[in-house]
Chains A and B, each alone.
Chain A
């Protein structure tokens, strides 16, 4: 029994060196895409690892270019700015929209209406 426990511990240690996100969950997300039929084990591992690298990269570069450096915080607006300004994070603009005030939004709507009238 203790032998088995030891093995588990060793396995956990080697896993944590490699990846910490669960591959089963990543596979579930990948398979939710309708045109994907099979994924081999290496491809699944690579996608999981890449997702971890992506999370690190997104967090760090948003923080570095963000406004919260003085206050030691990473906030939503830093992420939204990264999505807007960085070429590689462009695909995130849909899920990381910039927050704007309702009155600014109404104003931009009005301006759009005006533009339409002019046409």
Chain B
């Protein structure tokens, strides 16, 4: 899993950008402070995970779900995050659904094309296969979460 210790750090560039966006313009953040916030964020992930895991264990579940994370936030006294998190999750789910629908639509369009255009069939099939591979790859990623 984590082969090098630095794999457990969050990317500094992204952390720095988030800090800059949160603070008023023109505020300098010392290097030491940036590193400290980055470490704090990693500890936050672990703390939230362990809280959420307790809720999952109490319910005799093996898989952490969205409700567990929300309960963890309450327990950690980060109630202020609940509302923005709910909104973000909704937007995220919508995005995921939209992506799926878009690729399905594309597939249908392609099938139609195949029906009418016999000459290009072999080439299109190749492309279709390629698309299938990609989708399987995506699904595998999702299944992994459920099985492990």
A residues with CB within 8 A of B: 11, 14, 17-22, 25-26, 28-33, 35-47, 49-60, 63, 72-76, 78-80, 83, 87-88, 91-92, 95-96
Complex formed: what's the CA distance from A58 to B66 in Å?
Answer: 23
B1 interface residue (CB < 8 Å to A): yes
User: Quick check: B30 and A42 within 8 Å, CB to CB?
Assistant: no
B residues with CB within 8 A of A: 1-2, 7-8, 10-11, 14-15, 17-19, 21-23, 26-30, 32-33, 36-37, 39-50, 52-53, 57, 62-66, 68-70, 73, 76-78, 80-81, 84-85, 88-89, 91-93, 95, 99, 142, 145-148
Residues of B within 8 A of A59 (CB): 18-19, 22-23, 29, 37
Residues of B within 8 A of A44 (CB): 145
User: Quick check: B41 and A46 within 8 Å, CB to CB?
Assistant: no
What is the minimal beta-carbon distance from A113 to any residue of chain B, in angstroms? 31
A47-B49 CB under 8 A given contacts A38-B148, A79-B37: yes
- The 7 A-B pairs of least Cβ separation, nearest first, read A56-B22, A42-B66, A38-B63, A76-B32, A46-B69, A43-B64, A73-B28
A52-B18 CB under 8 A given contacts A29-B45, A32-B1: yes
User: Quick check: A43 and B8 within 8 Å, CB to CB?
Assistant: no
User: Quick check: A60 and B22 within 8 Å, CB to CB?
Assistant: yes
User: Quick check: B11 and A21 within 8 Å, CB to CB?
Assistant: yes
User: Quick check: A37 and B63 within 8 Å, CB to CB?
Assistant: yes
What is the minimal beta-carbon distance from A89 to any residue of chain B, in angstroms? 8
User: Quick check: B41 and A55 within 8 Å, CB to CB?
Assistant: yes
Say which residue of A39, A42, A78 sits within 8 Å of B89 (CB atoms): A42
User: Quick check: A55 and B15 within 8 Å, CB to CB?
Assistant: yes
Complex formed: what's the CA distance from A37 to B146 in Å?
Answer: 9
A selection of 12 A-B contacts at a CB cut-off of 8 Å is A28-B7, A32-B46, A46-B89, A51-B10, A56-B22, A60-B23, A63-B23, A63-B27, A73-B27, A78-B33, A83-B40, A88-B77
Residues of B within 8 A of A73 (CB): 27-30
Say which residue of B19, B65, B145 sits within 8 Å of A55 (CB atoms): B19
Complex formed: what's the CA distance from A49 to B89 in Å?
Answer: 9
A40-B95 CB under 8 A given contacts A55-B41, A73-B28, A95-B43: no
